[in-house]
Amino acid sequence: MLFKQQALLRQKLFVLGSLAIGSLLYLVARVGSLDRLQPLCPIDGRFGPHSQDEIPLRALQFKRGLLHEFRKGNATKEQIRLHNLVQQLPKAIIIGVRKGGTRALLEMLNLHPSVVKASQEIHFFDNDENYAKGIEWYRKKMPFSYPHQITIEKSPAYFITEEVPERIYKMNSSIKLLIIVREPTTRAISDYTQVLEGKERKNKTYYKFEKLAIDPNTCEVNTKYKAVRTSIYTKHLERWLKYFPIEQFHIVDGDRLITEPLPELQLVEKFLNLPPRISQYNLYFNATRGFYCLRFNIVFNKCLAGSKGRIHPEVDTSVITKLRKFFHPFNQKFYQITGRTFNWP
Ligand code: A3P
């Protein structure tokens, strides 16, 4: 009997304890989120002087809290008015290249307190149906931001789609354009791997990379294969240069963004005339993922989805050599035009 009463008492104490801890945690979270909702606009002007030692923690908390809510559509009109938030057309676009590291670049730039990303690929300029909906449709797809912040979107199909340069030029002829590239053969294999995974998911069979990349009749590189064509960076860039001067482009080294992201991001900050606010604090290497992940503040970290960083299938070395030889002259031209040299074989 005594034993039963003691057990009952222990159970009651356990329930009460859990309730107390739960309430405490709720209060902490609530105070934190209220703090984030204060209209104190901690984000400094874009062009003001900043010391690198200033940790943009508060601004980032604010960004994660408030703007995240707005992005999800949870904000009231009153909140939007109170915080003077707007949906702005992008001042910079990551136009490609597919599998170059476009997602990582966008997410990492979004660490900057003056940058707001469009989370989805909007495909406004490359998709005729979307383009026909007009520029207001495009603007409404943008996240809410403070007027001094810049909005960035990424749609890697822009780089290779014929009509896009002219369409973007018509929207804003002084827009800044970011292109992230990787060693062309590796990029082509990454492109293939993505398509292969899609086929496997649907239980479909697919050709081997070697079969697609090399024309079996001529034994030469198959330039009709999209993954090969996309890696001829200079051909695509030349089309863009009919509309925009080279100064409006910034080339990001996608291979270096994987191994050493900070210096690459600092170059982008400079190109966008942003004060240097992304620091080593914001990036940490995750050994399990094998990639750098993002740290917004002491509580919020994130790594990219598992679809980024796939294991590539093994490719015949003679095919790799052939592709590298094929890309070589195009790469030389690309270095010459962009003024950025890579150690691609
Ligand atoms: P792989 O899957 O071939 O490794 P995109 O976003 O343009 O599709 O590019 C995907 C590539 O981004 C991945 O290619 C991966 O290597 C690269 N990447 C760069 N930084 C990364 C990061 N921090 N986390 C995951 N992937 C990253």
User: What distance in Å separates the CA atoms of residue 9 and residue 273, rounded to the nearest whole number?
Assistant: 65
Is position 36 within any domain?
Answer: no
Is position 172 within any domain?
Answer: yes
pLDDT digit string, tens, across residues 263-283: 999 999 999 999 999 999 999
Is position 24 within any domain?
Answer: no
Is position 205 within any domain?
Answer: no
Number of structural domains the chain divides into: 1
Q: Is the pTM of this model over 0.85?
A: no
User: What distance in Å separates the CA atoms of residue 176 and residue 168, rounded to the nearest whole number?
Assistant: 10
pLDDT of residue 17: 57
Is position 176 within any domain?
Answer: yes
- Ligand 1 binding pocket (C-beta < 6 A) is 98-104, 156, 190, 257-258, 291-292, 304, 308-310
CA 15 – ligand 1 centroid, Å:
46
Candidates 4, 12, 77, 99; catalytic one: 99
Is position 317 within any domain?
Answer: no
Q: For residue 122, what is the domain's CATH number?
A: 3.40.50.300
CA nearest ligand 1 atom 16, residue: 309
- Binding-site members for 3'-phosphoadenylyl sulfate are 99-103, 182, 190, 292, 308-312
Is position 196 within any domain?
Answer: no
Mean pLDDT computed over every residue of the chain: 85
pLDDT digit string, tens, across residues 128-157: 999 999 999 999 999 999 999 999 999 999
Whether residue 99 lies in the annotated active site: yes
Q: Which range marks the domain in which residue 239 is found? A: 63-184+232-308
Is position 335 within any domain?
Answer: no
